[in-house]
């Protein structure tokens, strides 16, 4: 099969298309023919090994490869078709159309990937193409996880900082669907789309610092590692929750104190990206409550351009790589 591979950490140019061995499913795995994979901020961070949150560096480098990446095929989120079954797999049929998370196994930048049959694999939503469906799991699962963690309720107000990214895009839609009033913070060229998908208010972070406003929120969902912890906590209403998608070590250490010494909470936790949550997203998509935003679709040979598009942040929505002609 063909795969987009990287043999060294570095700029997008380290990505090349190569012929590699097609993986063979183990007894409890399925092999998926990947039609589309999302190119994510996390893929760019893994490729370059540049992390805004510094405490990630050492444990991740040990896990991923000290001198060069141990697994040369990136990609955690995909849509495709079940193509082969391991000996013990009974819950899938060859030909089923699915969307899925590869989690820390990665491999979605290959034309075929093997995933555990009990992993996060769900039938493709009926109203989405493969490219649209590949844009769902990262943003959708993380947004759902963090907004649940925040216990966001109808009638509450939520500020989403970094609302124009993969996670923020879904967070805006899910929060709106749950009956919350959404304030989206991002750069100016994302205002139209963010208002269209559910933001009532918009703040351009390059022109205005939301922490200087007098408005208070029930929930702040923050994707931006450089935000001020104390300024965000001060903006919460009584019983407010500050949910951090990308916390620094200091913010993590400070967060338990908030609930001890105030009526506010600071929360973080990595998303489990569970199959139940992906089923829930599928239902919301089929009920037309939420929908993915695809910025652009690139071919495998355009992987370098796809990564530049993601890391320079000009995109509006998700960048998708098409892995097979359909």
Tell me how far, at minimum, the Cβ of 87 lies from ligand NAP, in Å. Answer: 34
Q: How far apart are CA 170 and CA 320, in angstroms?
A: 16
Using CB under 6 A, which of 89, 147, 223, 300 touches ligand NAP? Answer: 223
Tell me how far, at minimum, the Cβ of 163 lies from ligand NAP, in Å. Answer: 7
Tell me how far, at minimum, the Cβ of 164 lies from ligand NAP, in Å. Answer: 3
Q: Determine, following the binding rule CB under 6 A, whether residue 317 of this chain makes contact with ligand NAP.
A: no
How many chain residues are in contact with ligand NAP, going by CB under 6 A?
A: 23
Tell me how far, at minimum, the Cβ of 165 lies from ligand NAP, in Å. Answer: 2
Tell me how far, at minimum, the Cβ of 313 lies from ligand NAP, in Å. Answer: 3
Q: Which is nearer to ligand NAP, 109 or 112 (CB)?
A: 109
Q: Determine, following the binding rule CB under 6 A, whether residue 245 of this chain makes contact with ligand NAP.
A: yes
Tell me how far, at minimum, the Cβ of 61 lies from ligand NAP, in Å. Answer: 16
Q: Determine, following the binding rule CB under 6 A, whether residue 261 of this chain makes contact with ligand NAP.
A: no
Q: Determine, following the binding rule CB under 6 A, whether residue 75 of this chain makes contact with ligand NAP.
A: no
Q: Determine, following the binding rule CB under 6 A, whether residue 186 of this chain makes contact with ligand NAP.
A: yes
Tell me how far, at minimum, the Cβ of 169 lies from ligand NAP, in Å. Answer: 8
Residues between 92 and 151 with contacts to ligand NAP, criterion CB under 6 A: 142
Q: Determine, following the binding rule CB under 6 A, whether residue 159 of this chain makes contact with ligand NAP.
A: no
Q: Determine, following the binding rule CB under 6 A, whether residue 41 of this chain makes contact with ligand NAP.
A: yes
Residues between 164 and 183 with contacts to ligand NAP, criterion CB under 6 A: 164-168
Give residue number: closest CB to ligand NAP. Answer: 165
CB within 8 Å of 196: residues ≥ 6 apart: none
The 3-class secondary structure across the chain, one letter per residue, is CEEEEECCCCCHHHEEEEECCCCCCCCCEEEEEEEEEEECHHHHHHHHCCCCCHHHHHHHHHHHCCCCCCCCCCCCEEEEEEEEECCCCCCCCCCCEEEEECHHHCCCCECEEEEECCCCEEECCCCCCHHHHHCCHHHHHHHHHHHHHCCCCCCCEEEEECCCCHHHHHHHHHHHHCCCEEEEEECHHHHHHHHHCCCCEEEECCCCCHHHCCCCEEEEEECCCCCCHHHHHHCEEEEEEEEECCCCHHHHHHHHHHHHHCCCEEECCCCCCCHHHHHHHHHHHHCCCCCCCEEEEEEHHHHHHHHHHHHCCCCCCEEEEECCCC
Q: Select the span of 40-48, 72-80, 192-200, 280-288 touching ligand NAP (CB under 6 A).
A: 40-48
What residues make contact with ligand NAP under the rule CB under 6 A? 40-42, 45, 142, 161-162, 164-168, 185-187, 205, 223-224, 245-246, 270-271, 313
């Amino acid at each position: 099969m063909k795969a987009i591979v990287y043999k060294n950490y570095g700029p997008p140019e380290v990505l090349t298309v190569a012929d590699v061995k097609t993986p063979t499913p183990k007894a409890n795995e399925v092999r998926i023919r990947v039609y589309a994979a999302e190119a994510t901020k996390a893929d760019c961070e893994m490729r370059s090994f540049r992390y805004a949150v510094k405490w990630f560096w050492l444990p991740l480098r040990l896990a991923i490869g000290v001198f060069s990446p141990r697994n040369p095929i990136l990609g955690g989120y995909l849509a495709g078709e079940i193509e082969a079954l391991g000996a013990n797999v009974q819950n899938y049929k060859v030909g089923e159309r699915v969307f899925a998370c590869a989690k820390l196994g990665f491999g979605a930048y290959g034309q075929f990937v093997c995933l555990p049959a009990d992993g996060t694999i769900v039938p493709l939503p009926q109203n989405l193409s493969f490219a649209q469906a590949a844009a769902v799991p990262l943003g959708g699962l993380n947004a759902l996880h963090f907004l649940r963690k925040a216990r966001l309720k109808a009638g509450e107000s939520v500020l989403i900082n970094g609302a124009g990214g993969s996670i923020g895009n879904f967070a805006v839609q899910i929060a709106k669907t749950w009956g919350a009033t959404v304030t989206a913070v991002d750069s100016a060229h994302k205002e139209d789309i963010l208002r269209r998908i559910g933001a009532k208010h918009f703040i351009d972070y390059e022109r205005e610092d939301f922490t200087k406003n007098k408005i208070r929120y029930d929930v702040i969902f923050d994707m931006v590692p450089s935000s001020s912890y104390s300024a965000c906590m001060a903006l919460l209403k009584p019983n407010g929750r500050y949910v951090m998608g990308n916390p620094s070590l200091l913010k993590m250490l400070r967060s338990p104190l908030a609930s001890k010494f105030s009526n506010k909470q600071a929360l973080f936790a990595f998303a489990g990206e569970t199959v139940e949550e992906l089923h829930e997203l599928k239902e919301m998509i089929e009920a037309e409550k939420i929908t993915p935003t695809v910025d652009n679709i690139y071919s495998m040979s355009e992987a370098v351009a796809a990564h530049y598009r993601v890391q320079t942040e000009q995109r509006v929505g998700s960048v998708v790589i098409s892995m097979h002609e359909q």
